[in-house]
Amino acid sequence: MLVFYLDRQIDHDLVEEIMEVKEYSDKNSFYKPHEFEDLIVQYKKIKQARLLSIYADTVFYNPVKHRTESARYLKTEFEIVGQPYQVLVIASKFERQEQIRNICLIILLPVMLLFGLVLLVNRILLKKIWNPFEQLLKNITAFNISQENPYKSVDMPIMEFRQLNQVLVELSGKVKSDYDEIKLFTENASHEMMTPLAVINSKLDNMLQSNVLGKDDGETLVELYKATSRLTKLNQSLLLLVKIDNNLLQDEEKIHLKSLIEEKTVYFQELISERNLILDSALADVTIAASRQLLEILINNLFSNVIRHNYDGGMIEIRLNAEKIVFSNTGHNKALDPEKIFDRFYKDNSSEGTGLGLAILKQICNRQHYLLEYSYHHDLHTFTIKFNK
């Protein structure tokens, strides 16, 4: 736009110079511009003058300033002192370009400074406004209902954010209070249930060992004994989940995992032999830092799972290296649902378990920051636990 405006101004000046040339031609003389005008007027004699006016850009050598400059020219033809001539007027664009450049600098520099100042002020204000909000998000993310640390309030400069913070403080307090009440109820209920269940099991044992019962009564007592045993296991599993959820098992130490798996292999060897299961293990020397109680429960659950859900004469594979531990087993069922398999009380209809074994496994892995995965390949159900390095 500025270039177009510059060309229009120069073209106007060129027309005025042509008028000067014509005025001088009326006086029977040739017009010569002053040296300081940055103009060149050239005359070329021709046979016949035509009505034409040609404007265009060019580059010429300025003899006054001894340099090559960009310019604009006007070419026209008319008679001078009675002879036809082609007149070429060249006007330098250098000075005007410098003027436009200076004007742009004068305008742009303050604008840029103002823009930079606005950005700086905007950044400071946004930082002041949004930093507390970001801290609010961090506190929400860090808040853990199972830990003793309460939700941390944040001093907010904006009224709407202060209201949001207040609502979060009240909500987190209520959720924490409700959780503590449920946790306390679960712990007390589980503990209180242990005593009557133990008494019932003891009485049933005594009755089963007596010889005064008939066949039908004995079968009924056997069913009752199985039911109470299952209820006892369920109660123990729920109590264990409560302990894991509340991080009550924190006895972290260095554990030689290969020795622990070999120890558990001996422990479960009788069950493995009874069902003629083939055990294939490849264990590397691996030592990790973890809770011994949690790790023993984890290995016990893995062994119990691959034995209980296998068929007679089936296969068990155990692999251990520095990165992961893998338990695989054959089974009657095909692939399980990996989205639901670790949910509490999720189990196959044919299973006699409590449905909490894999949930406990998942909870232990979460507590120890391990990655637990399930897959099914080549008729093998595989549970992979990747350690957190």
39-85: per-residue pLDDT in tens? 778 888 888 878 888 888 888 777 777 778 888 888 888 888 778 88
- Looking at residue 192, its pLDDT comes to 66
The 8-class DSSP code of residue 35 comes to G
Which residue has tokens 């622990």?
260
How is the chain split into domains, by residue range? 2-92, 159-245, 252-386
pLDDT tops 80 at residue 370: yes
Please say whether the beta carbons of 305 and 341 come within 8 A. Answer: no
pLDDT tops 70 at residue 216: no
Tell me whether domains 159-245 and 252-386 share a fold: no
- Looking at residue 42, its pLDDT comes to 82
| Mean pLDDT score across all residues of the chain | 78
| Distance between CA atoms of residues 340 and 338, nearest Å | 6
pLDDT tops 70 at residue 251: no
Alpha helices in the chain (DSSP H): 2-26, 94-142, 159-209, 215-245, 257-267, 269-274, 292-308, 357-368
| Distance between CA atoms of residues 42 and 58, nearest Å | 14
Reported as a pLDDT band with limits 50, 70 and 90, residue 286 is confident
Residues contacting residue 244 through CB under 8 Å, at least 6 positions apart = 294, 360, 363, 364, 367
Please say whether the beta carbons of 92 and 71 come within 8 A. Answer: yes
Q: What is the pLDDT of residues 320-353, one digit of tens each?
A: 888 889 999 988 777 776 777 777 666 665 555 5
Please say whether the beta carbons of 295 and 325 come within 8 A. Answer: no
Q: What is the pLDDT of residues 98-116, one digit of tens each?
A: 777 787 788 888 889 999 9
pTM (2 decimals)? 0.47
Assign domain 252-386 to a CATH class. Answer: alpha beta
Backbone angles phi, psi at 276, to 5 degrees: 55, 40
Q: What is the pLDDT of residues 146-189, one digit of tens each?
A: 666 677 777 777 787 778 888 888 888 888 777 777 777 766 66
Assign domain 159-245 to a CATH class. Answer: mainly alpha
Tokens linked to 134: 């970001």
Q: Single out the residue of 84, 68, 64 nearest to residue 76, CA to CA.
A: 84
Which residue has tokens 């016990």?
300
pLDDT tops 80 at residue 250: no
